[in-house]
């Protein structure tokens, strides 16, 4: 695999880039210009940057769900990183959406939420996101 890849902005994938006679092409011999002519917005970037872009594209904001949805997801697969406290609990779905991004479920003060983010988020970080994205704006009347 090369150090540079073709990444279509906002996508969950990339294409390997190969240097042939001073020009980068994908596995089918298409240049950056040819890829962009298909209507997508491709960029030629380092692999690490493409992985960061994929993670950013896969993340989803916090949204409120029902208790039934929360309970259903809890029993689909054994939960990953299940943390239960007095006023909150959270767990992560064992299957990744892409890379290290997964669906996360939480209960905070009797309300249920989901978000999609890195599987490495701690329970405290999950509760903080819910507080910042949903609970505080509600308290301010937004």
d(CA 67, CA 72): 9
Q: What is the pLDDT of residues 71-108, one digit of tens each?
A: 999 999 899 999 998 899 999 999 999 899 999 999 99
pLDDT at 135: 92
Q: What is the pLDDT of residues 2-56, one digit of tens each?
A: 599 999 999 999 999 999 999 999 999 999 999 999 888 999 999 999 999 999 9
**Confidence class for position 121, pLDDT limits 50, 70, 90:** very high
d(CA 36, CA 41): 5
Give the torsion sign (CA, 108, 110, 115, 121). positive
d(CA 51, CA 37): 23
pLDDT at 2: 53
pLDDT at 54: 95
**Confidence class for position 139, pLDDT limits 50, 70, 90:** confident
Please check whether residue 123 is in contact with residue 115, taking contact to mean a CB–CB distance below 8 angstroms.
Answer: no
Is the pLDDT confidence value at 1 over 70?
Answer: no
């Amino acid at each position: 695999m090369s150090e540079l890849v073709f990444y279509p902005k906002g996508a969950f994938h990339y294409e390997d880039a190969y240097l042939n006679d001073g020009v980068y092409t994908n596995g089918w011999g298409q240049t950056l210009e040819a890829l962009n002519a298909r209507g997508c917005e491709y960029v030629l970037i380092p692999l690490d940057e493409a992985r960061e872009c994929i993670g950013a594209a896969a993340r989803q904001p916090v949204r409120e769900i029902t208790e039934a949805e929360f309970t259903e997801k809890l029993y689909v697969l054994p939960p990953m990183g299940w943390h239960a406290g007095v006023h909150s609990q959270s767990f992560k779905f064992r299957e990744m959406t892409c890379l290290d991004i997964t669906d996360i479920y939480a209960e905070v003060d009797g309300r249920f939420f989901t978000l999609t983010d890195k599987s490495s988020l701690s329970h405290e970080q999950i509760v903080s996101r819910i507080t910042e994205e949903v609970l505080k704006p509600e308290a301010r009347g937004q």
